[in-house]
Amino acid sequence: MHYQDYKSILSPKNGMNIYRGCSHGCIYCDSRSSCYNMKHDFCDIEIKKNAPQMLEAALKRKRKKCMIGTGAMCDPYMHIEEELLYTRKCLEIIDKYGFGLSILTKSNRILRDLDLLKSINKKSKCVVQMTLTTFDENLCQIIEPNVSTTKERFETLKIMNENGIPTVVWLSPFLPFINDTEENFKGLLNYCIEANVHGIMCFGIGLTLRDGNREYFYQKLDENFPHMKQRYIKTYGNSYECNSDNHNKLMKILYRECKKHNILIGIDNIFSYLNTFEDKAANEQISLFI
């Protein structure tokens, strides 16, 4: 790992990435793509120096409170967070100034900060998002080798629900010929239903490959799935989108089950929910005078 100076921590849409790079080793990771202009080795985690201080300065300047999002590019709970506590420090600042939080991870390390998540959710809205890709634990260890197992993430979702924290699951990606089966999909959906998730984000049944992450993905296919790379090349060439033949069937199952169990679905609906700030403290004060 190494430190790097940055002038700001928040994007124009209030997204925050404390780290650049990742140690989870997911074979399909889009963040490895060349278009993101990462100048260092992906596994040599870059830490934004003084990230908590930059965040506090940014929140002090804001005239209106809003949701702060993190985890879209790099997981805020990768291994080095255990030592550095940068994510926790940033959550303390978000809590201190009464902002909302939308946080995405694949790690049950987030349970360490349950106290802060509950505090943020009491004042505003805290939405914990987890990515689920495969119901098969053995396959999970191959395609996501250094991250919490699917079962551990499922247990984390249940704990969040028990503590009143809304959750959103990202069902993604589905690797054609590997985990794009109906059996896998239904297993993950059952986890979502049992964990009482608020919403499910799904961009479709397939994955995307760009320069940078395609090469790494193919390398891992050669290591773990003999002859699969040739099948991908024959089927998709250099296409950005690698859609599964099971797309239509599985998406119908998704919408049917979400409607049946009152789970929020639809990309626009989910993003609207994640980006909508709620001031619970102010609403409680107003209710006292009604």
* 88-99 confidence digits (pLDDT tens): 999 999 999 999
Cβ atoms < 10 Å from Cβ of 57: 14
Residue 40 is predicted with a pLDDT of 85
Query: Looking at 106-248, which runs of residues are DSSP E strands?
Result: 126-132, 167-171, 199-201, 206-208, 241-243
Q: What is the mean pLDDT of residues 20-44?
A: 90
pLDDT band at residue 288 under the 50/70/90 scheme: very low
* Angle 238-239-245 from CA coordinates, rounded to 5°: 125
* Residue owning tokens 């239904």: 186
* Residue owning tokens 């247990």: 155
Helix (H, G, I), strand (E, B) or coil at 134: coil
Q: What is the mean pLDDT of residues 126-153?
A: 97
Residue 1 is predicted with a pLDDT of 87
Q: What is the mean pLDDT of residues 159-183?
A: 98
Residue 280 is predicted with a pLDDT of 83
Q: How far apart, in whole angstroms, are the C-alpha atoms of residue 269 and residue 271?
A: 6
Q: What is the mean pLDDT of residues 110-135?
A: 97
What predicted TM-score, i.e. pTM, was given to this entire model? 0.94
pLDDT band at residue 263 under the 50/70/90 scheme: very high
- pLDDT of 38 higher than 50: yes
- pLDDT of 50 higher than 70: yes
Mean pLDDT, the chain, rounded, equals: 94
- pLDDT of 284 higher than 80: no
67 sits in which H/E element? strand 67-70
Domains recognised in the chain with CATH numbers: 2-288 (3.20.20.70)
Residue 285 is predicted with a pLDDT of 54
pLDDT band at residue 77 under the 50/70/90 scheme: very high
